């Protein structure tokens, strides 16, 4: 497994229109379907019989290829919301989403109750600027109903050439009529790290997703902050609305702040799908306190970082409970250019806590007061536990009765297109979660002096 993971990328993020949820790269282990039991063999014979009957008797000619692909999709969709059968184009798109940029509208989506549902818009994108909200149900794309669409089909229809228009129609809780958004597609950059000095001695690093080189980008951002004439006394690490991404990058980021101990463990049914990742000693010491921000849009890879730093007492987690996506997917390339994304394991924080369907609970609960365009205090955030067929935190556990309960959550401040000074001003003056984090860091300095 160690060799497998080193050789291939892994994702811990939500399947989106703009970015992927924890993915264990291309495993490269091609497995063939074997009828392991008489019962399996009998069921496969029934499948063959149905296929034969349809091909010979259906009112219109149908291609067996399309029937089989539809059957595979139905099979995978029945097990959990993060496993998927990806047709060749969708498989290529998934590979693109961890690199560079692409053209689209900029939303993170999932399938909930058989409806295309927005997890969150990505800051600075056409969807974000237009006011698309978390929890919006996309019922039409360019007038075509989405109720019969697979997730990848909806993604394909909403993506397109920069400068072209697409109209999405959404149903929003509390709004009587569907809402039409006419969006101009644009390049969606997957820039993942932004950093600012909020005031002398206090830095701010925001990670929007975990893509290739995120660990290096965080390191570079910290080095720049640490080169200021006044030593860094505290850091705010903002993981709000971070839907996840590459597993190895989440591990790299956590490792920057940890010298020893476990970062995350992955446990699957097969021994080959289980592994524990340990921190390595850093050449550069970073002893300053950290306040880490989370909310309901913080998922998967973001939860790995938050859980690792929280369990080791390396940070104070502030905000609201994270999404709760604690499963690992592997993507197998298939012989026709398609791919199979399959949930193979759960991941656990250093203290052995399962994130699946529960999330990271903050040490200090602070809800977002001043809302971004995509927020609404009457509009509950969707969580992992709200997704149909979501897997349990542990296979032996029963889900609580409030599995359908949606936890109210707020989103962080968004400052697309502004200069650094404007960003800092809004963070310090308008973002109450950042304000509270800054108060904790400055108080930390005062109390530490008093205790000497």
Distance of alpha carbon 347 from alpha carbon 360, whole angstroms: 13
Closest to 358 in 3D by CA, of 312, 316, 397 = 397
> Please, are residues 44 and 35 in contact by the beta-carbon 8 Å criterion?
yes
> Please, are residues 299 and 306 in contact by the beta-carbon 8 Å criterion?
no
Scanning 344-411, the segments in alpha helix (DSSP H) are none
Query: Using the 8-state DSSP alphabet, how is residue 413 labeled?
Result: P
Q: Is 255 a catalytic residue?
A: no
Can you tell me whether residue 253 is helix, strand or coil?
helix
Q: Is 388 a catalytic residue?
A: no
Q: Is 311 a catalytic residue?
A: yes
Closest to 179 in 3D by CA, of 404, 415, 383, 374 = 374
Choose, from 311, 375, 386, 409, the residue flagged as catalytic. Answer: 311
Distance of alpha carbon 117 from alpha carbon 350, whole angstroms: 32
Q: What's the residue count for the chain? A: 452
Ranges of beta strands (E only) in 5-149 are: 11-13, 22-26, 84-86, 101-104, 107-112, 115-121, 137-141, 144-145
Closest to 76 in 3D by CA, of 86, 67, 66 = 86
Can you tell me whether residue 440 is helix, strand or coil?
helix
Choose, from 133, 325, 383, 414, the residue flagged as catalytic. Answer: 325
* Full DSSP string of 295-360: -TT--THHHHHHHHHHHTT--EEEES------EEEEEEEPTTS-EEEEEEEEEE-TT--B-TTT-P
Residues 6+ apart with CB under 8 A from 146: 115, 116, 138, 139, 140, 154
- H/E stretch holding 158 reads helix 151-158
Choose, from 300, 327, 338, 372, the residue flagged as catalytic. Answer: 300
Main-chain phi, psi angles of 275, to 5 degrees? -165, 150
Positions marked active-site: 300, 311, 325
């Amino acid at each position: 497994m160690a060799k497998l993971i080193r050789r291939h990328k892994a994702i811990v993020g939500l399947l989106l229109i703009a970015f992927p949820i924890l993915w264990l790269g291309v495993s490269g282990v091609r497995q063939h379907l074997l009828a392991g039991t008489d019962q399996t063999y009998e069921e496969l014979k029934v499948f063959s019989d149905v296929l034969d009957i349809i091909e010979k008797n259906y009112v219109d000619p149908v291609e067996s290829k399309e029937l089989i692909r539809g059957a595979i999709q139905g099979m995978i969709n029945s097990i959990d919301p993060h496993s998927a059968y990806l047709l060749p184009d969708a498989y290529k798109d998934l590979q693109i989403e961890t690199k560079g940029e692409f053209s689209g509208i900029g939303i993170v989506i999932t399938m909930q109750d058989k409806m295309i549902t927005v997890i969150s818009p990505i800051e600075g994108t056409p969807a974000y600027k237009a006011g698309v909200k978390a929890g919006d149900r996309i019922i039409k794309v360019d007038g075509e109903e989405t109720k019969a669409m697979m997730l990848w089909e909806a993604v394909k229809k909403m993506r397109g050439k920069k400068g072209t228009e697409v109209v999405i129609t959404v149903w929003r809780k509390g709004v009587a009529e569907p809402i039409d958004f006419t969006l101009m597609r644009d390049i969606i950059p997957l820039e993942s790290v932004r950093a600012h000095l909020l005031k002398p001695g206090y830095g701010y690093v925001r990670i929007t997703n975990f893509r290739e080189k995120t660990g290096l980008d965080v390191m570079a951002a910290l080095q720049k902050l640490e080169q200021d004439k006044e030593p860094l006394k505290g850091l705010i690490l903002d993981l709000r609305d971070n839907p996840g991404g590459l597993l190895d990058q989440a591990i790299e980021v956590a490792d920057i702040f940890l010298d020893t101990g476990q970062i995350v463990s992955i446990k699957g049914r097969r021994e080959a799908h289980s592994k524990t990742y340990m921190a390595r000693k850093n050449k550069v010491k970073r002893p300053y306190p950290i306040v880490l921000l989370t909310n309901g849009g913080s998922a998967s890879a973001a939860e790995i970082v938050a859980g690792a730093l929280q369990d080791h007492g390396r940070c104070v987690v502030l905000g609201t409970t994270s999404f709760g996506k604690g499963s690992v997917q592997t993507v197998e390339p298939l012989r026709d250019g398609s791919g199979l994304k399959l949930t193979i394991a759960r991941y656990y924080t250093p203290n052995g806590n399962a994130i699946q369907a529960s999330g990271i609970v903050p040490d200090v609960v602070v809800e977002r007061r001043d809302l971004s365009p995509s927020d609404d205090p009457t509009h509950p955030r969707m969580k992992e536990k709200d997704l149909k067929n979501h897997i349990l935190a542990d296979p032996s556990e029963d889900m609580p009765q409030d599995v359908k309960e949606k936890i109210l959550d707020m989103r962080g401040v968004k400052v697309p297109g502004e200069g650094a000074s404007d960003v800092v001003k809004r963070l310090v003056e308008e973002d109450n979660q950042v304000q509270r984090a800054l108060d904790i860091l400055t108080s930390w300095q005062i109390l530490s002096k008093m205790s000497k």
